[in-house]
Structure 1
Amino acid sequence: VEVHLNVRVESCTKDNVCLSAGNLGADLIVWTAGSKPSEFFAKNSGVFTLNKSGRVIVNEHLQVKNSRNMYVIGDNADTKYSGMAQTALYNALYVARNILAEKHGKKIPPYRNRRPIYVITVGPKWAIAQIGKRVLSGRSGWSVRRKADLAIFKNFQPYKEALKTWRKAEKMSKF
């Protein structure tokens, strides 16, 4: 497994990937890049303002331009890290908190982009993690992966249940 950071994929054939830093021959290519916004927004362009990528331009609260009652999140929102699952979850939590704050007459803080953590599981208890500019591999990368899993579970379950699910996932995992 080779990890190439800070490079772009220029093109791809069945046995070669052309990167911005040069060509890379490969026996197997697993394409995991790319996500695109829903066509719904383009079909309703009278309501939504789109950027060049087809993502909806949102205000500092992830609300649709000229509409305080409509939010757009995840792959569909024009935010710095859209297209990442972590960003979609972060967007969802932010909007949920805003709706509650608004309901109780509280001020809504502006959305702040949060850089996602990138983790690639490579084998049993072995992963590569990138946190900002820092790269961890092996068991340290795996530890980051496990902590990220727990953080996700805590978003959807009470802490004790999340911990139970997290421990169960560790036992069931072959990785």
Structure 2
Amino acid sequence: MYGGGDYVEHSQKKARVFREFLDFITVRTAFGGLLAVWTVFLPLLNNSFQVLPLKEYGVDNGVFDILTPTWITVITTTITLVALLSIFAMRASFCGFGKRDARRKALISISISIAMLALYTVAHQIYQEYAYFSLGVVHHSLQQLYFELPLLILYATFFSHLTQTSMLLAIIRFYKKVKCDA
């Protein structure tokens, strides 16, 4: 348990981090920070607008039966939020010479994101046309998880790396305008 002074110091540190996060997403990097936070909610928008195929089995050639589109969206949004917060927690390591590392990581992350998008689209198309019927998978059986879990992983990886890329780019811009504490 915290002593009186320790508790106050801990509370002040939390308040500083929260203020810095608000500065990050609003004032200092207006577009970059907001874009990074906005990408967390892209899975929710996709669930509404269906840019990437994410439909239930039996509805418009959907392939998801056990993992519903709603669950996939919740899981993916949670993962992207964790990606955003973890990059923000490591923000000090990207200060100074770490900006070069952040650029490299952003390039790797966007490459992974594009690859996962392509793989998801191809895998979804293959599952939609061939997987269930040719392998004799019964509707509402646990065998469908063998097909749905890889799609979930590809889908979540695409969105989390997209969020990671935008967050890294926003942090680079943030440290152009803010002096490093180190």
- Indicate the TM-score class for this superposition, using the shorter chain for normalisation: under 0.3
- More helix by proportion, 1 or 2? 2
Structure number with the bigger relative contact order (C-alpha 8 A, sep ≥ 6) is 2
TM-score by length of 2: 0.26
